[in-house]
Structure 1
Amino acid sequence: MSVTLEEGKPNTQTQNEEIKKVSGLGVRHVQIALLFSLLAIAYAQRVTLSVAIVAMLDETASPNPDIPTFKWKTKSVILSSFFWGYICLQIFAGQIGKKYGTKWIAFIAMFINATACVVIPPVAEYIGSYGVMACRMIQGLSQGFFFPSVHNILGQWAPSDERSVLGTIAFAGPSLGTIVSILITGAICSSWSGWPLAFYLFGALGYAWMLAWVLLAANTPASHPKISKEEREYIQKSLSVNENDEISETPWKSIFTSVPVWAFIVAMFGQNWGYSTLLTEIPSYVKSIMNVDIAHNSVLSAAPYLASFILSFVFGAISDFIINHEYVTRENARKLFNTIGTVVPSIALVTLGFLDENQLSLSVTMLVIAVGVNAACFAGFQINPVDLSPKFSGVLMGIGNGSSNTFSIIAPLLVQFVVADDETNKKLWRIIFITAACIYTASDIFYVIFASGKVQYWNDLEQVAKTDKKKEKLHEEALNSK
């Protein structure tokens, strides 16, 4: 693969050392493509049940009378079961990935996840809803390794002046996976093959990804056998990485007492509440309120995620452009895009809650805005852990994503509690949308006040030690002066 060199801007993190930027496609872009496909397949597997469960509970969904259907009464509980496992191992995932490398950990996680997806149809038929919940919990446990792995790789492979673009490309994977899953699962569920085929198909995609990952992925630029010297040095100098750097002990105390880290965590709390509400409940909302059958349901349900997929690239490119041209600081760019990605969807959700049932076109527009513009958050809080600490970004993502996904459990359960008795009551859905809008907005306000775009001192353990000694010295001086 040939590349050309062009002069890049000095990077303050390398103390104004000249960095030669490697233009054109490189090995780093292959890593991002693998991360993109990882998240796309993961979300396709995650979303399949959100669509398929409508057909699993509807005897008329498929023309094939041999396709099994069920009379389960705990739909939202089944949908939330994924997150029972998802929240458990994320901090561990970020830590173990940093210590031992991400490559084989992500491989094993995908194998477990894909296998749990493939066995859902026979488990549903022979064991029932509890068996499906167990499979989904296993999928959640394994997928809990994915986002920390993505951040660990980004922390090693994404140069600072390309971070927003490369990050948002990777984070666009869930939108594409959601689109593909909704459209294909909807079509399969209404076909003669029926809903089981969807789980077999997306499970098989997971196995295919594993092959590509083994052949093309690497934990760091230094460990990739085919990367050019120019590209490796460009990435390492941009991130202030030394090939001889030893694996650092995680500065837990500094992380948990860092206000910018808490700003990221709170932002993720709001994101997970709002996004999980939309992700798990849009198919049910479209069917119950808009009275659209399963075949058309999939098209309408996918439209918001198509907007998210497209806009994620737009927001990422704009973010890097205004940062690299110094129109705004990295910190202010993160805050700006996070606000766009939460406040605009909040307005759309509140509007949606007050629209009449027969205003189908306007309702779909509000759903498109609510989900699509939320993609701005990819250039906001989502990429922020890599800003704060390239070395420990996977750990930060594990902390934030693991803890905040408790909201991903609570949000569907709130839907179950509020609308279970009458899913056709628009006033009850209004409560769901207004609640999500309020949580979105409150989390953004906290983020805007306390977030940072600078590398934190504890990213370098030597700096942590110096800071601790300085604090001890100041404390001793204060005591001696009394």
Structure 2
Amino acid sequence: MEDGFTMSDPKFKGPTIGVRHVHVAMLFSMLAIGFGMRTNLSVAIVAMTDSKATTNHDIPTYDWNNKSVILSSFFWGYVTLQAIAGELGNRFGTKWLLIIAMFVNSTACVLTPTMAEVGSYGVIGCRILQGMSQGFFYPSVSNLLGQWVPPSERSRAGAISYAGCPFGIIFTMPATGFIAASTLGWPWSFYFLGTLGYIWISVWYFLGASCPAEHPKITNEEKQYIQRSLNATPDEKGGTPWRSVLTSLPVWAFVVAMIGENWGYATLLTEIPTYIDKIMGVNIKSNGLFSAAPYLANLIFTLIFGVICDHIIIRGYVSRGAARKIFQSLATCVPAIALVALSFLPTDATVLSETMLITAVGVNGAIHSGVLINPVDLAPNYSGIIMGFGNGLSQIFSIIAPLAVQFLVTDEEDKSLWRIIFITAAAMFVGTNLFFVLLSSGEVQPWNYSNAKTTTTNNKTTTENEDTPQPEIVKV
């Protein structure tokens, strides 16, 4: 009981649309803008290297023979700073960290047309900077979800936040194509997205905060509801217990699952369209509907699974840890089945193949209620660090997967070579998921509170937050 309310009383949670919901909306929009900038170049580069792709012939075009290098350069920067990003967010808070990251990201985006005049390496430099700055996004999302979202709302809040990723792609692909083909020309696609980034910074400056205790407008009821549900001690966050993090089996279950996810997802999105083109003779990249459909399916499934996951946890049908395992299994096993089936389908089964691609990428949206939200379950105080460590390490494999295709598929029209790639990706999906199912947890780890201040009163040792309810512990 607090100020006449109980934790189960809706009034105790504060306004129906509270400050925590505003933060989830801001995370959604940040990831939408970020993934829009990440995707923008893959569409714009067509107009940048082909004068026939625009109606404005005053717009410069370039004769670049290293387009694959340019497109991959984003990930060179993306894998470098994520663990550091999580640590910085833990030490100094995420509000200003995201302001700086989005500013660098947006500025690099706006400068891309100017740097293109210098040469392809000017664009590569901008993309590396964007990758480095966006390396702060995922760890910051996990950090903020850990500080702002009560466990009973976690799956939905995570799903909505991460749904910004497919939404940004769905929005950017046609918008970039339209702008590039118009009299404005391709440079304005970069200016447009960069401006959205600057607008986001302005809004975030006034509405965002690293934790409820730092927000000037949050109601006392909502702040207490969040802090008590998380058993939070916001003023007593010490150094990261790295030894405990690196020796935790549930943390490594998260890392291994992310490795399999990034390998399999890279195969789904970057290689299956090429396979359908070369083996089945259908270029779905040139079809706007099929280009956007997998991302639209992913967005829809992400939101649906988020609601279902929270519902079955709150109703007590399954524990939190079991729910993570169920949805992660959906996110990996369905795409694995689709990959194996694709490798054996006849070459004239184009509609079935395209449907499988859409279904596989769509159902993979369950990852947002599975492994992606799991760092917040394990350690709300250090979830950004766990996400940065795991996502940074696993992104290396999203680079290796396409390189494996380039090395093994020496003849793109040889179906037996593609079968090796698809079965390997399916094995990565299933094998890493099995590791996650066996060793992951939905329980708050003891080292999450390892830095809580202790006091001694009347020969009784307590933690600073002993008078509050203990966090919900779910053992699996």
For the aligned pair, the TM-score class normalised by the smaller chain equals 0.7 to 0.9
Residues 265, 404 of structure 1: 8 Å contact kept: yes
How far off its partner does 1:249 sit?
A: 1.3
- Evaluate the alpha carbon distance shift between residue 67 and residue 280 of structure 1 in structure 2; reply closer, same or farther with a 3 A threshold: farther
Residues 89, 384 of structure 2: 8 Å contact kept: yes
Which residue, out of 227, 236, 252, partners 1:262? 252
In the other structure, the counterpart of 1:172 is 163
Partner Cα distance (2:299, 2:399) in 1? 24
In the other structure, the counterpart of 1:471 is none
* SS state at 1:328 partner: coil
In the other structure, the counterpart of 2:370 is 380
How far off its partner does 1:8 sit?
A: 4.7
In the other structure, the counterpart of 2:319 is 329
* SS state at 1:452 partner: coil
Residues 254, 458 of structure 1: 8 Å contact kept: yes
Partner Cα distance (2:65, 2:267) in 1? 19
Gaps of 5+ in 1: 11-17, 466-482
How far off its partner does 1:283 sit?
A: 6.8
How far off its partner does 1:204 sit?
A: 1.6
Letter in 2 for 1:164: S
Which residue, out of 14, 19, 43, partners 1:27? 19
Which residue, out of 330, 353, 359, partners 1:369? 359
Q: Which moved more, 1:334-343 or 1:352-361?
A: 352-361
Q: Which moved more, 1:456-465 or 1:98-107?
A: 456-465
CA shift digits 1:41-70 (9 cap, x unpaired)? 111110112233344444543344444444
In the other structure, the counterpart of 2:79 is 87
Letter in 2 for 1:344: V
Residues 233, 452 of structure 2: 8 Å contact kept: no
Partner Cα distance (1:268, 1:49) in 2? 25
Partner Cα distance (1:267, 1:252) in 2? 20
Partner Cα distance (1:424, 1:202) in 2? 38
Partner Cα distance (1:324, 1:184) in 2? 40
1:153 aligned to 2:144?
yes
Which residue, out of 362, 386, 391, partners 1:401? 391
How far off its partner does 1:394 sit?
A: 0.6
In the other structure, the counterpart of 1:235 is 226
In the other structure, the counterpart of 1:225 is 216
1:115 aligned to 2:115?
no
Number of residue pairs matched by the alignment: 450
1:141 aligned to 2:126?
no
Letter in 1 for 2:322: N
In the other structure, the counterpart of 2:438 is 449
Q: Which moved more, 1:296-305 or 1:372-381?
A: 296-305
1:315 aligned to 2:305?
yes
- Evaluate the alpha carbon distance shift between residue 187 and residue 409 of structure 1 in structure 2; reply closer, same or farther with a 3 A threshold: same
Superposition pairs of residues 22-101 of structure 1, within 5 angstroms: 22=14, 24-101=16-93
Residues 90, 385 of structure 2: 8 Å contact kept: yes
How far off its partner does 1:201 sit?
A: 1.8
Partner Cα distance (1:428, 1:195) in 2? 37
Residues 54, 284 of structure 1: 8 Å contact kept: no
Q: Which moved more, 1:350-359 or 1:281-290?
A: 281-290
Residues 79, 280 of structure 1: 8 Å contact kept: no
CA shift digits 1:289-340 (9 cap, x unpaired)? 654487x533321111111111111101111111111110111100000000
What fraction of aligned residue pairs are identical, expressed as a percent? 54
How far off its partner does 1:349 sit?
A: 2.5
Residues 284, 291 of structure 2: 8 Å contact kept: no
CA shift digits 1:203-243 (9 cap, x unpaired)? 22111111111111011111111111111110000000135
Letter in 1 for 2:429: Y
How far off its partner does 1:358 sit?
A: 4.9
1:339 aligned to 2:368?
no
Partner Cα distance (1:132, 1:357) in 2? 38
Residues 51, 283 of structure 1: 8 Å contact kept: no
- Evaluate the alpha carbon distance shift between residue 57 and residue 412 of structure 1 in structure 2; reply closer, same or farther with a 3 A threshold: farther
Partner Cα distance (1:265, 1:303) in 2? 29
- Evaluate the alpha carbon distance shift between residue 274 and residue 78 of structure 1 in structure 2; reply closer, same or farther with a 3 A threshold: farther
Partner Cα distance (2:221, 2:310) in 1? 22
Partner Cα distance (1:292, 1:52) in 2? 18
- Evaluate the alpha carbon distance shift between residue 113 and residue 463 of structure 1 in structure 2; reply closer, same or farther with a 3 A threshold: closer
What TM-score, normalized by structure 1, do the two folds share? 0.86
How far off its partner does 1:38 sit?
A: 0.6
Q: Which moved more, 1:138-147 or 1:359-368?
A: 359-368
In the other structure, the counterpart of 1:414 is 404
* SS state at 2:53 partner: coil
How far off its partner does 1:370 sit?
A: 1.7
RMSD: 2.7
- Evaluate the alpha carbon distance shift between residue 336 and residue 113 of structure 1 in structure 2; reply closer, same or farther with a 3 A threshold: same
Letter in 1 for 2:44: A
Q: Which moved more, 1:340-349 or 1:325-334?
A: 340-349
In the other structure, the counterpart of 1:273 is 263
- Evaluate the alpha carbon distance shift between residue 89 and residue 200 of structure 1 in structure 2; reply closer, same or farther with a 3 A threshold: same
* SS state at 1:111 partner: helix
Letter in 2 for 1:435: T
In the other structure, the counterpart of 1:105 is 97
Residues 167, 299 of structure 2: 8 Å contact kept: yes
- Evaluate the alpha carbon distance shift between residue 433 and residue 58 of structure 1 in structure 2; reply closer, same or farther with a 3 A threshold: farther
* SS state at 2:168 partner: helix
Letter in 2 for 1:453: G
Partner Cα distance (2:453, 2:424) in 1? 40
Residues 6, 23 of structure 1: 8 Å contact kept: no
Partner Cα distance (2:177, 2:412) in 1? 20
* SS state at 1:119 partner: helix
- Evaluate the alpha carbon distance shift between residue 7 and residue 325 of structure 1 in structure 2; reply closer, same or farther with a 3 A threshold: farther
Superposition pairs of residues 198-209 of structure 1, within 5 angstroms: 198-209=189-200
Partner Cα distance (1:424, 1:182) in 2? 28
- Evaluate the alpha carbon distance shift between residue 208 and residue 139 of structure 1 in structure 2; reply closer, same or farther with a 3 A threshold: same
